[in-house]
């Protein structure tokens, strides 16, 4: 969705207190994306079209999407290690992050286990920091060419099956 919003900015050098500068604000609701995923996984998306969409194809698409998400989370975002330690956001443990350069940090040897003490929180803070760094780089920088192609092909397939639902997020109204 696209909406023009007036951004008011104060200019310290100006006698005019405020000036209006229109900016575009794009809003896409992640909840809707998760609802779409769930409706593909359980087949309710196909059922809503009363026979016009293949039920088996719907389930297959949902499962492929889920598998890619889980593989991405397992391989790049330490899902198995941190799934039982729910923090509300990546910076939740920033007080335990000492700013160490994580370029050569061996996460495999991290031995992140219970109890959830200060040592474990520090290790998790390192993982969260690494996740944030990877996230800002984008998928193009962390996935190999094969996985990028698989992801892009699945995106196109889902978008076609859902009559442009995903691509509608990229189109200004």
For the chain, domains (ranges, CATH) are 30-168 (3.40.50.12350)
Could you give the CA distance from residue 46 to residue 115 in angstroms, rounded to a whole number? 45
Global pTM reads 0.71
Identify the active-site residue in 31, 101, 106, 117. 31
pLDDT digits (tens, 9 = 90+) for 82-136: 888 878 888 889 999 999 999 899 888 877 776 678 888 888 899 999 998 888 8
pLDDT band at 32, cuts 50/70/90?
confident
pLDDT confidence of residue 27 = 53
Average confidence score pLDDT of the chain: 81
Among 21, 10, 36, 124, smallest CA distance to 77 is for 124
Fill in the DSSP letter of residue 60: H
Could you give the CA distance from residue 8 to residue 116 in angstroms, rounded to a whole number? 46
Lowest mean pLDDT among 28-32, 48-52, 135-139: 28-32
CB-based contacts of 85, cutoff 8 Å, min separation 6: 116, 120, 124
Identify the active-site residue in 2, 4, 13, 29. 29
Q: Is the CB of residue 156 less than 8 Å from the CB of residue 30?
A: no
Q: Give the mean pLDDT of 72-77.
A: 91
Residue 97 among the catalytic residues: no
In the chain, % helix, strand, coil (3-state, to 5) comes to 55, 10, 35
21-41 burial: b if 16+ Cβ within 10 Å, else e: eeeeeeeeeeeeeeebbebbb
Among 1, 46, 44, 48, smallest CA distance to 25 is for 1
SS (H, E, C) 80-133: HHHCCCCCCCHHHHHHHCCCCCCCCCCHHHCCCCCCCCHHHHHHHHHHHHHHHH
Residue 13 among the catalytic residues: no
Fill in the DSSP letter of residue 167: G
């Amino acid at each position: 969705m696209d909406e023009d919003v007036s951004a008011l900015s104060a200019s310290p050098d100006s006698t005019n207190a405020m000036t209006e500068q229109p900016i575009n604000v794009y809003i896409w609701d992640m909840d809707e994306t998760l609802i779409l995923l769930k409706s593909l996984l359980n087949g309710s998306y196909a059922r809503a079209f009363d026979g016009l969409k293949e039920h088996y194809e719907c389930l297959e698409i949902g499962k492929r999407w889920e598998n890619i998400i889980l593989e991405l989370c397992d391989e790049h975002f330490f899902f198995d290690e941190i799934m039982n330690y729910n923090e509300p956001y990546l910076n939740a443990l920033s007080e335990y992050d000492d700013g160490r350069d994580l370029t050569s940090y061996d996460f495999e040897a991290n031995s992140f286990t219970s109890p959830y003490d200060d040592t474990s929180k520090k290790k998790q803070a390192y993982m969260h920091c690494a996740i944030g760094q990877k996230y800002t780089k984008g998928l193009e920088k962390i996935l190999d060419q094969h996985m990028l192609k698989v992801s892009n092909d699945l995106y196109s397939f889902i978008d076609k099956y859902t009559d442009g639902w995903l691509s509608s997020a990229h189109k200004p109204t």
